[in-house]
Every structure is written in C-alpha cells, then in structure tokens.
Structure 1
Amino acid sequence: MSEHYLLNYVDCTEYKLPLDLQNIFGRKRETFLEIGFGSGEFILQKAIENPNADYLGVELSMISAKKLLKSISRNHVGNVRALLVDASFALRNILPKDSMSGVYMNFPCPWPKKRHSERRLNTVSFIEKIAKVLKKGGFFQLYSDSEEFVHEMFGEVGKTNCFDDPVLEVNPTVGVGTRYEKKWLDMSKEIFRMKCVRIKCEINGEEDVVRVSNLWIDDIDEKSLQKVDGKSFSKNEIFVKFMGLYRNMDRNTFLIETLTVDRDFSQRFYVNLSRRGNRWLIKLDSQARPFRTKAVKFALRVLSEKIAKKDPGGDQNH
C-alpha cells in the first residue's frame, strides 16, 4: 500500500495494547466501531457526516482495507482508522474496555451451513466481547438480510445480561447505504435491523497478549531440531505447529516456520535460531510481525526445550 494511504492504517503490532485511541486519532472524541467494513461505504459516509466523531473499522480482507484507505485519501477524511485484524481478537485484546459509543455490524456473513457454525458471530461469547468495548449507554446495531441470523442474535443478546431489550425492525426506513443493502433491496429481499444499548455489566475476559522474551540455549541438538519439523504441541486453549525448517549454508542460522493458535486466533510467522558466539539465540524473526500472544511465547519455550542439547548439570535456558 502507498505510504500516503497508510496514514489512516493502524498496524496494531507496533503499538502497546490495548490501543490508546487518543494517540491513534490525535484527539479525544466519541469513537465508533464497524466490524467488517467491506468496501467501506458505510464507515466513510458516517465519518464525513460526523466530523467531530472518530471511526475505527476492523476487517480481515486486505483488498477491502485498500479500497477503504483509497476512499479515505480521495475524500480527504481524517477521522477514520482501519485495522486489518480478526474482529474477535481485536475486541478481546486491541480495543480498550468501555471505549466505544457504538458498534456497527452491517450484513455479516451468516454462515448458514452447519460445518461453518464456528465462524458465526451471533454467539454469546462474541456479543460479550462487543459489550466489553462499549461504554455504558453505548449501542450495538446489526443489519442483515438473514432473518434466522438476526433472530438468533436477538436471543443470544438476551442471554448476556449486558444489554437492554433489543429492538428488531423489518425494512427500517433508515438504511446503511452499502452496495450489499442496495443489492438485497433490488432483489426485493427483506432487511432486518437489531439495536440494543449496553447497560451496567461487568465483562471479565482473559487477554491473550503477553510479554514475549528471547531465549538462549548453550547448544542445539540438530537431530532433535529435525524431529521438531512437522510436530504440533498444545496446552489448554493454545496450539503450536512447526511447519518447516530452513537453514543457511554455514548452519549457523535456522528459520522455523511456525503456526500458533490462541483460542480462535491463528498466526503464521518465522522463528529465528542463530549462533551468537558460543550460544544460540531463539527469537522471532525480524520480518515476523505476530501479536505477542501466549501461544507465541509457548512456541519459543517448546522449541528451546526440544532442541537443546541435554546437560545433566543444569538448566539450558537463561
């Protein structure tokens, strides 16, 4: 992406978490969140109509993020920031508690097939994450063309005890102005809107982000290192798999392709193993930009334990 477009992009791996919104926007204003901004029509229009408020958009698609960032630049809009990250992870770890005045979800995929049920966002767990970032009195608003999805969301909201009674409308007079909405209306499909307001409610959730430090070992066992390739390890809700092993010609540096999963959040990156004098350093590769999560920390620890030459006289890790 062009450096000019990146002015409105937030690389969350470069910031202390949770984000300091005043630092991100350069001012302190009411902040609203859109989960899954797609092509960005809705969040851009909201920002233009409300210049004294700030808007954050969370999206997984790089293509969608580029479209929004280009539109922001073309329209000279300064009160929108885009985050390219999983929404569930963002709600749990990146966005501050009690920070949002409103959260929007416009036409999320309902994932109707049973085999995709784990991808659905109309769950108590996900709704509680939304409640966590909302201020008391802040609203959650959902638009969808799927009646089943909205009714399920309606029921799950009631189970959280975090919101007042949701209001459900069919074909609301005020739409969201996105191309998806126009598409559904052109097909004479019904549109459903659900809106609710957060009431006083304590949301306690364990965060995944931790401090991850480099590790040192005195020497490596190359046979053990070879055996690690392709192996997986798990602990509680953490999963690690070493996907590939690459080395330089002098065998003083290795790269280990690594997959980690923290609950529902996965990352792929490289771990760098290099000789430094008489010892070996294990660290995240300089090109790696994963969030420093419990699974990432676990991956470094497991690797150090599995490949260290056994020394009966003491602990290899310092």
Structure 2
Amino acid sequence: MARPLSQQLLHYLVDWRDSPWPIDWESLFGRSAPLSLEIGFGNGAFLASQARSRPDRNHIGIELSWSAATRLFQRLEKAQVENARALLIDAEAALQHLFLPESLTEVFANHPCPWPKARHGERRLFASPFLDLLASRMRLGSRLTVVTDHAEYAQWLGEMLEGHPALTSCHPGIEAPEIPGRQPTKYQRKAMAEGIPIHYFEWTKQAEPEGLIVPAHRDQVDGSGSRDARTWHDSMPTISLRGDYDRKLLLADFQPLTLRETVDNIEIAVRLSGAFRREEPPMWLVECFVSEGKLRQEFAIMVIERKANELFLKLSGLGRPHPTFGVKLAIAGLGRVLMESDPKLTIVHENLGAEALATACKSEVPC
C-alpha cells in the first residue's frame, strides 16, 4: 500500500534548504555507491526505471516542478526502490552548492527545453559556463548523456560539447546513432510517432577543466550528518547596533532597498521589500529576497531589542536560508538602513565580514 504524500515527501525529497552544503550523499543513502544524476526528470519514468534496473547506484533527480516530483514519488513507491531521491532546485544552483567536485559517475538530461527564441538563448542548459561547472562535478571517465528531438538545439549542443576541453565523444562523431537498450521517454515516443529525428549525445570526461569550480559554501556538521547546533549557530550572520534610537520611528518610513554586486563572477541581487512591527515585546521583521546566480533564497530578518539602546539583527526561522554572502549582504544592508535613519546608531558587533559591510555601504549616504 502506497504511503500518503506527506510521507513520500519526507522520504524521497531532499530538503536542501535544511541540509549541510555540499550534501553528504553517502550518509543520505546510507551506503557508498556510484552517484547518478538526471537533470530534469519530468514525469519520473526514466529515473524510476534507472533506479529499479540499476540497484548498485544511488540516483538523484533534479526538477523545478512540484507536480513532476509527486509523479516521481508515485513511481518510486510502485517500484519499491530505496536508491532514488529528488531535489527541487535549479540545476546550476544544485551543482554549485550541493555536489562536491568529482562526485558524479554519470549524468542524464532527456529532452531539455531548447529555448528556441533568440532572446532566450542564455537560458539553454549546457552553455559553456554550465558545462564547466558540470564537468568539475563529474569523475574522470564518467559519462554525460543528452537526448533531444530539437534539431537546432542539437546543432548548438554539439558545438558546445565539441568546444569543451574536458569532454570527449564516446562515438566517432559528435552524435551517437542510437543508444542500445535505452528506454524512450514520453517526449521521445511522441517525437518518434511524428517522424521527428532523435539526437543522441554520449560524451565522457577525459580531462580536468581549468580552474576547478568548488562549492561556494560549506557547512560545518556534527557526526550525525546534521548541522552542528553550536557551529551552525556561530556561523549565522548577525549584527548589533547601539545608540539612543526612537522605537516608534524605527523602520516606520521603510523604503524597499536593492543591492547588487558581482563576486567570483556570480551576480548577486538583494531585495529588502517590506518591514513589519510587533508592539509587545517589540520586534521588527523585514522580508528579503536574495539571488546568487541561479540560487534563490527568500527569508526574513528579525530586529530585536537585546538590551537598553541595543538592536540585534539576525535571521528568523522563515525560509531557513543558508548564510551565503548574499544573505550576509542583506543583513548588512538592513543595518545600513537603520543607521541612515538614525545616525546615533553604530555597529558594536558583527560577524558579516568587511566585504559585505563595504558592499552594503555603496550609496550616496555614508554608513
């Protein structure tokens, strides 16, 4: 009998927001096994089939669609397999933060969106920067398999693969004539029924890409594989301000603030969008949105009165963000807002770092 959706979610869906980065996949699966990744698992049929037919491997699927995830859960329940898990996150963000270099044994992408319009070209999967990141996460000798029925996308993909120094075709040409034993996906069967040619790409990693891309953030964990309560708390970004402020005026005239910065070639945008106040005991909550490349985090910052004439800024439990540079920048930006609104406030303690504070202060009003 299939478990209810709530239990399927707890079992199959990896809560990447509340997991240490990068994820310890061996601990998550409870065993050491080659790691297989499918980018965009769609209705889940291919991933479930792989998990069932290849029990010696741990299988991860990445998607953005919740409905796709529920279909995958149903298939995994029916197949009664324990070696497959799902991530609901952008593929680039997942590879950047959740996977160690040289951790993947194989990668699949079945009929990725071709984004045929010229203005959408930058959204295509497997552009050069993404291939660099993906190749850094693949082991030497690991295989990348991509299948598409879109001719123009296939031509473009062939050019991207052929131009990458770490990847080599497994066949004499750029494309494979077919992949023996491969189970066609829903989209592939539809295309074949309409007489549309299918393009197969099987490429392997034969060299290390220049400038190995490492995870942007690493959490400290305890022996159980969970966030260590002490080190995780110590790593949470905070700032303390002191001064003779007027409680009634604090954030009363709050205006949305946007900060932008580029760090290590990653574009960062921070948006402080709204402020809310609780009367007793006094507390303020500020809504935040942070994007760092393809990583998106929505959360709230708390402003509380810690002692006389002292304000303490910290992350609330909403959104469970990881303390990336963008999150630190959001707290620094809110600190700037408070100090600009009341010049008597000054920083007495912070663990955000000089770069976050300096970036937040890039405005006409000094902080």
- TM-score under structure 1 normalisation? 0.91
- Measured in 1, the distance between the counterparts of 2:202 and 2:313 equals 49
Q: How far off is 1:284 after superposition?
A: 1.8
Where does residue 178 of structure 1 map in the other structure? 185
The answer for unaligned runs of 5 or more in structure 2 is 219-234, 351-367
* C-alpha distance after superposition, 1:186-225 (max 9, x if no partner): 2221111111100121452264336542222225677573
- Measured in 1, the distance between the counterparts of 2:169 and 2:82 equals 35
Where does residue 271 of structure 1 map in the other structure? 301
For residue 281 of structure 1, the aligned residue among 289, 312, 315 is: 312
- Measured in 2, the distance between the counterparts of 1:227 and 1:233 equals 19
Alignment map for 1:14-163 (pairs within 5 Å): 14-163=18-167
Where does residue 201 of structure 1 map in the other structure? 208
Where does residue 315 of structure 1 map in the other structure? 347
- Measured in 2, the distance between the counterparts of 1:94 and 1:141 equals 21
Change in 2 beyond 3 A, CA 1:224/1:117:
farther
- Measured in 2, the distance between the counterparts of 1:271 and 1:184 equals 49
**Is the CA contact (8 Å cut-off) linking 2:99 and 2:215 kept in structure 1?**
no
Identity of aligned residues (%): 25
Where does residue 288 of structure 2 map in the other structure? 258
**Is the CA contact (8 Å cut-off) linking 2:40 and 2:112 kept in structure 1?**
yes
Q: How far off is 1:170 after superposition?
A: 4.9
Q: How far off is 1:63 after superposition?
A: 1.4
1:169 is paired with a residue of what secondary structure? coil
- Measured in 1, the distance between the counterparts of 2:32 and 2:142 equals 17
The letter for the 1-side match of 2:347 is D
Change in 2 beyond 3 A, CA 1:50/1:171:
closer
- Measured in 2, the distance between the counterparts of 1:40 and 1:105 equals 12
1:315 is paired with a residue of what secondary structure? strand
2:330 is paired with a residue of what secondary structure? helix
The answer for unaligned runs of 5 or more in structure 1 is none
2:285 is paired with a residue of what secondary structure? strand
Change in 2 beyond 3 A, CA 1:229/1:208:
farther
- Measured in 2, the distance between the counterparts of 1:206 and 1:197 equals 20
Which stretches of structure 1, 4 residues or longer, exceed 6 Å deviation after superposition? none
| 2:333 maps to 1:302 | yes
Q: How far off is 1:174 after superposition?
A: 4.3
**Is the CA contact (8 Å cut-off) linking 1:34 and 1:57 kept in structure 2?**
yes
Where does residue 194 of structure 2 map in the other structure? 187
- Measured in 1, the distance between the counterparts of 2:241 and 2:7 equals 40
- Measured in 2, the distance between the counterparts of 1:242 and 1:5 equals 31
The letter for the 2-side match of 1:152 is W
Between 1:269-278 and 1:116-125, the stretch displaced more is 269-278
Q: How far off is 1:85 after superposition?
A: 1.1
The letter for the 1-side match of 2:188 is E
